[in-house]
Structure formats: C-alpha cells, structure tokens
Amino acid sequence: MSVHFHHTNGREIKFSPGYIPHFRVSALAHSDASSFISDSLQFVVQEISNPDFTFRHQVIRLSEPFSFKTVFTLRGLFTRIVLKGQSSDEVAGLPATATGEAEYSSWFGTIGEVVTHVTGAIYESIDILCAGELLRKFSEVFPALDSFPDNESNSSCGLFNQRRPVTIPIIDVIQQIFRYRFDPQQMKYFIDYKVSELLFLTLAGHDVEKEKFVSESDSNAIAVARSVIENNINEHHSIADLSRMVSLNEFKFKTLFRQIVGVGPFEYLLSLRLNQARILILETDKPIKEIAGLCGYASVANFITAFRKRFGITPRGLRKDTYER
C-alpha cells in the first residue's frame, strides 16, 4: 500500500531514509524508518507493510500547530491510535474527528486521503491500514461490520461514529511490538499476529452491543474518575474515595470501570505509573531513583521489580537498550 504525506498546502513532505540525529524514539525492529526536519518540525516514521496491512508509527515534534495530508489507496479499515498529543482528522465526506491523547478512531471504506491537524509539542500515533479481507474475518464476532458499505461502494464511514479510549490491553500489545526482537522471518509472523490482536481489541472497544448497557451518566462518571487517576499518578486512590467522588456505590464503580477501561482502578494506576516511568527512562536522563519517586514508588527495589514484571527488562536495561537516533 503506497502512502504519501503532504503539507496541506499541497507540497509533498520529502522524507529521508533513517532517523534524525539525537531524536530519541523507540526503534521498531525490521521496519522502514524515514524522517523529515525543518525549522519548526521534526517528523519520524517507522513502517512495516505487507499485502494485507500497513503498521505505521509516527512521532512529530513541533513548535507550532501543523497540518498534513496522508494519501493512500485503501479499501478497508483505517485505525489511528493517538499516544501523545491530539489530532483532528478529516476524511472526505465525513465530519472532522477529534482524537485526543490515549484515544483512537476508526474509519471504513475507500479512504483515499486523511487531512490531519496536530496540536501539542509532541504528537505520537500508531496508524493501522488494514485490507477489507482481513477485517471480514471478524464479521461473525462483530455483526455490526455487516452494516459497512459493500465492496462496490466508494464511500467512507466512521466506525460507529465515535472515538474510544485506549485500554491497557491495547497499550500492552503496542509495547510488545516495540519490545521484542526476532529475526526478519519470525518478526513477520509476530507482527501479523499482533496487528490482528490490535484489530480485535479496537473492534471490541467499538462493540455497540457492550456499550448499550452503559448509560451516558455512568460513562461520564468513569471518565471523571479516570481523569483524576491520570492526572495524579503519584497519589494513592482508594475505591471508596473514587466512587464517592463520582456518586456511585463501590461495587457499581468497580464493575463499570473494568467494563469501560478493561482493568480495575488499581491495575490502571499501576500501568499508568509504569508507562510514565518508561517514558521518563527513554526520554530523559533522570536517575532511576528519581523516576521511581516521580511515579509514586517510595522503594526503588519495588519499582524495579514491578517494572521488570511488566516490561520484561529492568529500567537500567531498557535505557541501555534504547537507541538515540
């Protein structure tokens, strides 16, 4: 699948092979890496493609709002998972979709091009462009797929017309893709498997049969609790305090939180702490002890144990293994 990036003024963004010097980014094994740099923009893309899908990781550092157009020929599913920053995406014939940090949006049809407006000092996303044949394998599990335009249609549609929160299982799969190293042939099968897993998880997140049992007020309550946890990861958050804050009883709060987020409140907090620690290890030179404290760990030993259990490597080992591009 051929993918081209353009400024919204029409000029194509000319990428050069490889990475930007001193631009720290998690390397995607056996991917094609390219980059673009200007006075106000640094843009790094890592991509793995086969006849069924393209998996693309893009990181943008910008000093002012930036817009670009992605042009490709695709009949199938386009999913954008925003890891940092936020974007507003315009697909021809559809209303603009604002996707914030830790959210994802999906479109189905003959996409053609997507105009993306990016804000924030750093923008990072995962794009999955998946052929319709692979997507149709899930139609028995997700009957709503049958409502998509047929293969003769040239239209596009938003997948259930809503963005969804990135769940912990989705984050785990993405981290596995970047963490593991195999030889090229093994990596091919590994990526095929993991992209299918990501596709399943994002479709499950859009499952209207599950969502119809959650009222808007309950969904908003969980969103408030989730925001409190995300904005204060170094603090302790008890079930009693969180449920009282959003006016739900403790049992209903725990049930709804797990249903919507994918894990319980404590597991979510732990994951946020360790994910933030991973970012600080990769993107700063702060001592491990300081990072542990910033992420809510009074004991460095406990922090190292939890980090190794989640990522399969120690904080110091991860820092040593990181490539500075």
- In this structure, the answer to whether residues 226 and 186 fall within a common structural domain is no
Task: Assign 27 to helix, strand or coil.
Answer: coil
Sequence-ordered list of residues with C-beta below 8 angstroms from that of 316, at least 6 positions apart, any chain: 288
Which pLDDT belongs to residue 147?
Answer: 56
- In this structure, the answer to whether residues 66 and 80 fall within a common structural domain is yes
* The last residue of a domain, from among 174, 207, 240: 207
- In this structure, the answer to whether residues 174 and 202 fall within a common structural domain is yes
Domain that includes residue 143, residue range: 3-207
The type of residue at 43 is F
- In this structure, the answer to whether residues 132 and 269 fall within a common structural domain is no
How many residues are recorded in the chain?
A: 325
Whole-prediction pTM: 0.69
- In this structure, the answer to whether residues 148 and 263 fall within a common structural domain is no
* The last residue of a domain, from among 207, 230, 257: 207
- In this structure, the answer to whether residues 228 and 161 fall within a common structural domain is no
Q: What is the residue whose two structure tokens read 């609790």?
A: 225
- In this structure, the answer to whether residues 223 and 122 fall within a common structural domain is no
Tokens of 8: 């919204």
- In this structure, the answer to whether residues 224 and 267 fall within a common structural domain is yes
Q: Quote the distance between the C-alpha of residue 85 and its chain's center.
A: 11
CA distance 129 to 74: 8
- In this structure, the answer to whether residues 270 and 176 fall within a common structural domain is no
The parts of the chain modelled with pLDDT lower than 50 are: 1, 149-153, 160-161, 208-212, 323-325
Which pLDDT belongs to residue 59?
Answer: 93
- In this structure, the answer to whether residues 115 and 244 fall within a common structural domain is no
- Chain segment 279-311, per-residue pLDDT in tens: 888 878 899 999 999 999 999 999 999 998 887
CA distance 183 to 217: 49
Which pLDDT belongs to residue 1?
Answer: 46
- In this structure, the answer to whether residues 88 and 124 fall within a common structural domain is yes
Q: What is the CATH number of the domain that holds 146?
A: 2.60.120.10
- In this structure, the answer to whether residues 51 and 197 fall within a common structural domain is yes
Which pLDDT belongs to residue 227?
Answer: 86
Q: What is the CATH number of the domain that holds 239?
A: 1.10.10.60
* The last residue of a domain, from among 155, 187, 207: 207
Rg (CA), the chain: 20
Number of structural domains (the chain) is 2
Sequence-ordered list of residues with C-beta below 8 angstroms from that of 214, at least 6 positions apart, any chain: 256, 259, 260
Q: Are 256 and 222 contacting, i.e. CB atoms less than 8 angstroms apart?
A: yes
